[in-house]
Structure 1
Amino acid sequence: MLITSRGRRIGGRAVLGVVSTLVLGATGFAWSQLHRLDANLVTADVIAPTAQVPDAPAGEPLTVAQNILLVGLDSRTGPDGKPLPQNVLDALHAGSGDDGGNTTDTMIVVHVPAGGAAATAISIPRDSYVDIPGYGKHKINSAYSRARADQRGKLAQQGMSGPQLEVAADAAGAKSAIAAVQQLTGLAINHYAAVNLAGFAALSQAVGGVQVCLKAPVHDTFSGADFPAGVQTISGTQALAFVRQRHGLPNSDLDRIARQQAFMSAMAKTVLGSGTFTDPSRLSSLVDALEGSIVLDQGWNLLSFAQQLHGLSSGAIAFGTIPVQSLSLATPSDGDAVKVDPAQVKAFVQTQLSSPDVAASGGTADPGTGTARPPSSGGKVRPIAETTNPTPPAGTPGQPKMTAASGCVN
C-alpha cells in the first residue's frame, strides 16, 4: 500500500500548509490541537530508507539537520484520487489538465538545521531544464508527471483502477520529483509534503487572510489575479491567484517565486501576531484546514518534529532562489525552459546553508544514493525582510527579490 489515510482530506498548498505547521510547533500552542492534527494527516511511502532520519526524544531540540521538499501540485484531483468538482476548479481558475495538470507547480526545499531554531527555504523554478533520473533532460516540473503517467499505465494494465490507482501513481510521481531535486541540489531529501490547488483557499481563510504588497496593479485572466497596487489583505481564491500568476509579470516564473516567498513570510508573521493561538475558533479552523490539506511522507512524525522547533520564529526563516542563466533556453521537445548549471546550483545551495549568515549546513547527499552526510554548524539566518537571491550573469533577467523596506513584489 503506497499511501495511507489517517483521516479526511481535501487539498491545499504545501508552501502554506507546512509553514503553518512549523509556526504552530514553534509557538508552543495547545498540544491537544497538534495531537488532533497528527492523528488525521495523510501519508505516502516516498522517502528512501537511506534518507530517513530517526525521531529525537520528545521535548529535545532537533538533533539532525533535515531537508524538506515542499511540492504544490497543479492537479485536478484530490489527494484521495477523486476528481475535484468542476465548480471548485472554475472558482480556482484551474483550467483543464492540459494547462498543467499533475506537474509540480511549486518546488521549494526547506532546510532546518540541528537545533530547529531557523529555516532556509530555497525555491526551484518549475521550468528548470535538468537531468531527471530515468527520463533524460526535461523541465523539472515534469519529473512528477512523467513517472506518474508511467506507473499509472502499468498499474492499470494489472487491473488497478479508481482512486487507488491515482494515489499509487501519485506516489511514483513523488519519488521521481524527489530524485530530480536531489540530483540538482546535492541535498538528501528527508521529508516530503505535497498538496494540490483546492485546499489553499481554506488555509489562507483559516488564518484570517494574509497581508501582501504589490508594486503595480495586475489583471491576469489565466490565474484570476486582479489586484490594485499597494498593501492589501487576501485570502481564499484571491490568495491562490496571487501565488499562481506568472503571465504578465516581467520575469514570469521568477516573479511568481517572489510572490510565493512573500506570501510565506507574511503568512508566518500573520499566524504569530494575529492572536491565532488565543482564538479557539481560528485555531480550530486552521488545524481543520491543515488536516484536510497536507500529504506527508510516511515516516514523518509531525508532532515530534513540531516539538523540536520551539526556537523557530518568523524572523528566522530565510528565502532564496537557485541561480539561473537564462529564462528562454530552447529545448528539443519541451519548448523554452529555464537554463541552470547544476554545479552552480550545488555551490549556491551549500553557500546558503553553510555561510556564517545561516544557521547550519544541511545533510548533503550523494545524488546516486541519497545518503546524508553529517551537518555542520554556522551562524544565524537572515530575517525574512532580507531575502537573498543569487546575482544572475550579465544579460539575464534579475532574480526576484523582496524589497527590504516595503516587502512589495511585482
Structure 2
Amino acid sequence: MAGSEGRRAPLWARLSVAVGALLLIPAGGTVAAAEVVPAGGVIPGADVPAGAHAAPREDTREPLNFLLVGIDPRGAHTKPLADTIVVAHVPSNREDVFLFSLPRDLVVRIPAFKPSGTAAVRTKINAAMALGSRQPNGRYNPRQGLYLLARAVGNVTGIRWFDAAAIVNFGGFEKVVDTMGGVKVRVDQEVKSEHLRPDGRPRNRTAECRLRHACLRPYTGPQKVYPRSAAPVRFRGWEALDYVRQRYGLPRSDYDRQRHQRQFLKAMAKRVIDRDVAAIVRSAGDSLTFVDGGNTLATWLTVARRLDVRGMTSIDLPGTALFEGGVYRGERFLPGANAFLKAVAEDRVASFLVDHPKAVKIDQ
C-alpha cells in the first residue's frame, strides 16, 4: 500500500477508506470494529488468527463489496442484534458505488455456525449477529457474530466475498457529527421522534411502562419534530442520532428509516472528505477501530484526503410483510429486489438499472 504523500494510494484502499468514512453513521454510531470477512467458505473462530484477513486486491477486475452493520451496544452479557445492515457495492469498472440495505426483519435461513455452537435456523436476519456472537462463557462477541451475519447476507445477496466489513455502535456519534460542524441532509418527509422532546431531553414513559422494559412504545409527551424540507437541514449530533433511529409513524416504517440512514450516510461521507479527518478520528476516541489487513490508521488518514465519494447511488429495495398462517413473521423481498441482487452478484448493476427502471427505486 502506498504510504508516501507523493504516491497515489491503490484503488482498493481509496474505496475502502470511502467506506470507512461511511461507517460513521449507518445505525447512528461510530465505528466499533472493521473486519475482513468472507460471506462463504471457511470462517475463523472467535479469535481471528493473525494472517486470517484476505489479501488486499490492488489490481483486480472483480467487484468490491463492503458490509456495514449497526448495533446498539448493550455489553458483553447481552446478545447484539444487527439493527442496520448496509452493503456498499463497487462494480469491477470502479465507476460507481451502490448502497442498499437489508431489512433487519428479513426472514432468511441462517446457517449453522461452529464457533458459537448454533444450529441452522429460519428467522429474522438480525438474529445472525446474536447467534454467531455466543461464547461458552455466557458472553457475546459481536466480532465473532459478524462472520455468521456475513454468511447470511451472502446467501441472500449472492455475494460470495466481502472485502471488508464493520460493526457500528451508537457511542460517540454525537461528538463526531459536532466535530464536523454538523451534517446537512434534506428531510424528505416529516419525522417525529419516538424518544426525545423538542429540546433533546428523553420523553417521559407512560405510567404502565415505568416499571416495565418490554413495552413496544413506552413514551408520552411532546416530541421532537423534523419537518419536511426541500432544502438541506443542518443536524447537530444529538439530532442526527435521533433522526436516523426513527421508524414509528412513517408510511413505510423501517424501509423509510433505511432510506434516511442511506441519505445520511452519503451526506456524512461528503462531509468527512471536506473536514479534518484526524480531528474526527480523535473525537470518536476508542470507539473507532479499523482492522483492515495490516494498514495503519495513519495510512488510512493520508488516503482519505484523496477520496471522492460524491458519485454514490443509494438503492431502495422493495419489500413487504411476510405472513404465515395469519401470523406476521417478518419481511420479505419483492421480485424487483431479488432481480437487483442477482445483478449485484453478476456485476451488472448499472445496466440493470437502465433496463429495469421500475424494479427498484433510486433514493433522491
Q: TM-score, normalized by length of structure 2?
A: 0.66
Q: Which residue of 1 aligns with 2:270?
A: 269
Deviation at 1:141, TM superposition (A): 0.9
1:199, 1:62 → 2: CA distance? 36
Secondary structure of the equivalent of 1:75? coil
Whose relative contact order is higher, 1 or 2, with alpha carbons under 8 Å and at least 6 apart? 1
Give aligned pairs, total: 292
Structure 1 residues 118 and 218, CA gap change in structure 2 (3 angstroms): closer
Q: Which amino acid is the alignment partner of residue 108 of structure 1?
A: V
Which residue of structure 1 lines up, in the alignment, with residue 295 of structure 2? 301
Alpha-carbon distance in 1 for matches of 2:105, 2:327:
9
Alignment CA distance shift 1:109-1:43 (3 Å): closer
Alpha-carbon separation, structure 2, partners of 1:312 and 1:184: 30
Distance 1:315 1:350, change over 3 A: farther
Shift of 1:199: 2.6
CA–CA separation in structure 2 for the residues paired with 1:320 and 1:349? 11
Out of 56, 74, 77, the position equivalent to 1:76 is 74
Aligned 1:5-404 pairs, distance under 5 A = 19=18, 21-22=20-21, 47=38, 53-56=54-57, 64-77=62-75, 81=76, 102-114=80-92, 116=94, 118-134=96-112, 135-148=120-133, 151-152=134-135, 154-156=136-138, 165-166=139-140, 169-188=141-160, 189-222=162-195, 226-230=225-229, 231-272=232-273, 275-276=274-275, 282-289=276-283, 292-297=286-291, 299=293, 301=295, 313-324=308-319, 326=320, 328-330=321-323, 335-340=328-333, 345=337, 347-352=339-344, 354-355=347-348, 357=350, 390-391=359-360, 402-403=363-364
Over 3 Å counting, the alpha-carbon distance change for 1:310 and 1:239 in structure 2 is closer
Percent of matched pairs sharing the same residue = 25
Q: Is the 8 A contact 1:193 1:295 kept in 2?
A: no
Native 8 Å contact 2:69 2:168 kept in 1: yes
- TM-score, normalisation: structure 1: 0.59
User: Residues 330-380 of structure 1, C-alpha deviation per residue, up to 9 Å, x if partnerless?
Assistant: 358994411126x8655312425733737xxxxxxxxxxxxxxxxxxx9xx
Greater per-residue helix proportion? 1
- Stretches of structure 1 that go unaligned for 5 or more consecutive residues are 1-16, 25-39, 84-96, 157-164, 277-281, 359-377, 383-387, 392-398, 404-410
Shift of 1:107: 0.4
How large is the Cα RMSD of the aligned pairs?
A: 4.0
**8 Å contact kept, 1:110–1:121:** yes
Counterpart contact for 1:126–1:140, Cα < 8 Å: yes
**Runs of 5+ in structure 2 lacking a partner?**
1-15, 24-30, 44-52, 113-119, 198-223
Aligned AA for 1:184?
Answer: V
Q: Secondary structure at the match of 1:155?
A: coil
Alpha-carbon spacing, 1:194–1:321, altered in 2? closer, same or farther (3 Å): same
Separation (CA, whole Å) in 2 of partners of 1:155 and 1:294: 26
SS at match of 1:314: coil
Question: Aligned letter for 1:133?
Answer: P
3-state SS of the aligned residue for 1:192?
Answer: strand
Q: Which residue of 2 aligns with 1:160?
A: none
Q: Alignment partner of 2:80: what SS?
A: coil
Residue 198 of structure 1, CA deviation? 1.5
